Chain A
Amino acid sequence: MNHETHEADLRALLAGIAGPDAATVDLDADLIEALGIDSLAGLRVLAAVEKRFGVRFPDERLGDFKTLRELLDFVGQGGKG
C-alpha cells in the first residue's frame, strides 16, 4: 500500500471516531486539539490504527503520535518508526 492509500484509510478511521472534520484536518495539526476530541478518544484512535494496520505503538512513546503525519510515518515504516 502506498502513502496516499494509508492517508485515506487513516482519515476514514478518524472520521469514525471524531466526525467529518477528519477528512480535511491538516497533516501536522495536533489531532486532539484540531478535532476537539478528548484524550480517551485519542486512545481509541490509536487502538483503531493498531487494529487496521497491525502495528503496536510503544507504550513509552504514545505521546509522540499527535498528528496525522506522525501516525502515517509510523504506519509506513510498518510500526518500526
Chain B
Amino acid sequence: MNAASDGRAPATLAELLRRVANEHAQRPALTSARGDQGEPCTYAELLARAVAGAQRLRSEGVSRGESVVLLAEGRPEWTIALFAIAEAGAAVVPLPADTPPAAVATAARLTQARAIVTSERSSASAQAAQPTPVLSLSVLTAPRAAHEPATAQSAGAQPTPSADDIAVIAFTSGSTEHPHAVELTHANLLADLAALRAVRSAGPGDAFLSMLPPAHLFELTAGQLGPLSCGARIVFSGAPLPNRLIDALRDERITHAMTVPALLDALYHEVLDELATAGLVDPERRGQTPAETARRMADETDAAHRARVREGVRRRIGETFGLFVVGGAAIDPAWSGVVRPLGIRLEVGYGLTEAAPVVTLGVAGECPTGSVGAPLPGIEVRIAEGGEILVRGPNVMRGYHRDAEATRRALRDGWLATGDHGHLDAEGFLFIDGRLKEAMVTAAGETIYPEEIEACYGDAAFRELCVAGVPGPHGNDLPTLFVVPDEERRGDVAATAQRLRASAPARLRVADVVTRREPLPRTASGKVRRAALVAQWIAEARRQDNQDEGT
C-alpha cells in the first residue's frame, strides 16, 4: 500500500506515521542519548513496531473509541506506544512517569481506561490503578516476534479512526480532587502541528533533543510530532541533568530543543561554570544572572576575547545547536542577549493544553520585549472586555472529558476562554499580563492547583490556611502557604509548617510560609480570595522593604 503524500494533510496520527514512514523509511527517527539502547529506531521500524503494538493492544481488548493510559518517561518506546495506541484507534492518556499512584488511579477511572501501559520505573504507581490491566511498555513496543502474525493487511479490516476521534486525553494537573482532562482530537493536534510547520521548518538533517516529559502537550506536539512530521531525529536525554543535556547537544549533533525556563537556567549555569573552570570567564562570575551576562557581552569591546568565549561555548555545546523553544512560563527578556551572540535563536510562545497547545510564537529579540510572539496562522486571538485572552481555531479542544459544565464555561461561542489576562499591541503581538485562574505554573512548567497542596498542610495548629501563587523570578508562581495560627493552641507554627512541608511529596512542597494574624480575605460565600491575599502580601512586603531601607 502506498501512502505517499497526495497533497492532502494527514487526518490522523496513524496516517501521519504511514506517510512519514514511507517518505523517510531508513532515516533514524528515535534514539537515546549515549546510544545505550542500541541502534536508532528508523521511521520504517517505528511504523512496524507501532503496528505490532496496536495488534497486541487489540488482543487485550482495546478498540476504537476507548482509551489507554501511557505512564512512562520520555524514551523511544514512549513514542512507539503513542502511535501504537493511535493505530489501534484508541485515545492516549499520557501521564508523566512520576505521577503519584492516586492520580494514576483517578485518571484511569475517569477515562475508563482499557489498559495502562507503563515503564518499569512507574509500574508500582500503575499497580495502584487495579483492576485496570497493566501492560509493559517494553513488551508492547518490542519488534514483532517471529511467531506473531504480521497484520499490516488485516489492520485494514479494523474500523479506521477519523479526524474527529479523540487522540489524546490530557490531564492539566495531577490533582485527584480537581482533575481537568482535556479532549483533543486528531484534527486538533494536526492543526496545531500544521500551524507550527507553516512558520518554522526543520528537515531530515535536524536532531531534536527531548528533555521534557512528552506527557506534556508542548513536548508532545512541538517536540515529538514536530520533528517526526519532517523526517528529523528525536534524541531522548534521559534524566535532565544539565551536564548530560550539554553532552547530548554536542555528541548527538542536536539542532533544536524544547525547554522550560528553569532548565534553560540550569544549562546556562552549567556552561558558565565550565567556562570559568576553563579560565575563559572570571570565576567570580559563576553565579551571575543572565541579565548581567547579557550586559557584559554587549559591553565587551575586545573582539578577540569575545571570539574566544564563543569558541569555548561552541566547543562545549557543539557546532550544530541553534534553536531553543521555551514553553511553560514567561522568560526574562535578557536571555536573548545571552544566546544571540552565540548564534542560538530563542523562541518564546504562549500555549495551553486546551489549544493543543501552541497559540503564539516569536523570536526573542525580534518580537517586542516582553511579548510572547504572534498567533500562529489559522489561530485567532482576541481580548475579551475584562482582559481575558480568547483563542479560536481548529486546534482548540472539543471540551473537557465528561465535564459539560466546565466545557460550557471554557468554550463560549466557539472561543476558548484561557483564564489568562493579556493584551495585543497594534502589530498583533500578544503580551501576558497575569493569570485569572487559581492554578499555578511552576518554573518547570507544571500546573498545580492550590487545593492539591492545601491537602498536605492541614493541622490543628492552624485556624485557617490557604495556598496561593506569588509571582516568581521565571514568570512562574511560587506556591506559598498562608496560615492563621489558632491562638488557643500554643505551638511553633513555623516548625509545624516545616514538618508538614517535609512530609509532603516534593512537587507539593510550598516555596514559602507566611503567618498572619488577620483572618484570610473571603468572598460572601466564604471562598478565600487568593488574588487579594497575594496582593496584600506583596504590598506588605514592599512596605517592610521601604521601612528597612529607611532605618
Total count of chain A residues near the partner, CB < 8 A: 18
- Report B-chain residues with C-beta under 8 Å of the C-beta of A32: 506
* Distance in angstroms between the alpha carbons of A16 and B266 in the assembled complex: 14
Q: B139 on the interface (CB 8 Å rule)?
A: no
Q: A9 on the interface (CB 8 Å rule)?
A: no
Q: How does the 8 Å CB contact mask read for B119-130 relative to A, with 1 for contact and 0 for none?
A: 011000000000
Q: B502 on the interface (CB 8 Å rule)?
A: yes
Q: A71 on the interface (CB 8 Å rule)?
A: no
Q: How does the 8 Å CB contact mask read for B266-292 relative to A, with 1 for contact and 0 for none?
A: 100110000000000000001000000
Q: A1 on the interface (CB 8 Å rule)?
A: no
Cβ of B127 to closest chain A Cβ, rounded Å: 16
- A62 and B239 contacting across the interface, CB-CB below 8 Å: yes
Q: B163 on the interface (CB 8 Å rule)?
A: no
Cβ of A57 to closest chain B Cβ, rounded Å: 8
Chain A, range 9-37, C-beta contacts under 8 Å to B = 16, 30, 32-33
Q: How does the 8 Å CB contact mask read for B286-304 relative to A, with 1 for contact and 0 for none?
A: 1000000000000000000
- B286 and A40 contacting across the interface, CB-CB below 8 Å: no
* Distance in angstroms between the alpha carbons of A47 and B73 in the assembled complex: 19
* Distance in angstroms between the alpha carbons of A51 and B277 in the assembled complex: 12
- Report A-chain residues with C-beta under 8 Å of the C-beta of B241: 43, 46-47, 50, 57
Q: B112 on the interface (CB 8 Å rule)?
A: no
- The verdict on A50 contacting B243 (CB below 8 Å), with A33-B502, A44-B266, A44-B269 known, is yes
Cβ of A40 to closest chain B Cβ, rounded Å: 5
Q: B443 on the interface (CB 8 Å rule)?
A: yes
Cβ of A63 to closest chain B Cβ, rounded Å: 9
- A16 and B286 contacting across the interface, CB-CB below 8 Å: yes
Q: B312 on the interface (CB 8 Å rule)?
A: no
Q: How does the 8 Å CB contact mask read for B238-269 relative to A, with 1 for contact and 0 for none?
A: 11111110000000000000000011011001
Q: B313 on the interface (CB 8 Å rule)?
A: no
Residue of B nearest to A43 (CB): B241
Cβ of B302 to closest chain A Cβ, rounded Å: 28
Chain A, range 45-71, C-beta contacts under 8 Å to B = 46-48, 50-51, 57, 59-60, 62
Residue of B nearest to A66 (CB): B506
Q: A39-B506, A40-B443, A47-B244 given. 20 additional CB < 8 A pairs?
A: A16-B286, A32-B506, A38-B262, A40-B263, A40-B265, A40-B266, A43-B239, A43-B242, A43-B266, A44-B242, A44-B269, A44-B270, A47-B243, A47-B270, A48-B243, A50-B243, A57-B239, A57-B241, A59-B73, A60-B120
A-B contact pairs, 22 of them (CB 8 A): A16-B286, A33-B502, A38-B262, A38-B443, A39-B444, A40-B263, A40-B266, A40-B443, A43-B239, A43-B241, A44-B242, A44-B266, A44-B269, A44-B270, A46-B241, A47-B242, A47-B243, A57-B239, A57-B241, A59-B73, A60-B120, A60-B121
Interface residues of B (CB under 8 A from A): 73, 120-121, 238-244, 262-263, 265-266, 269-270, 286, 443-444, 502, 506
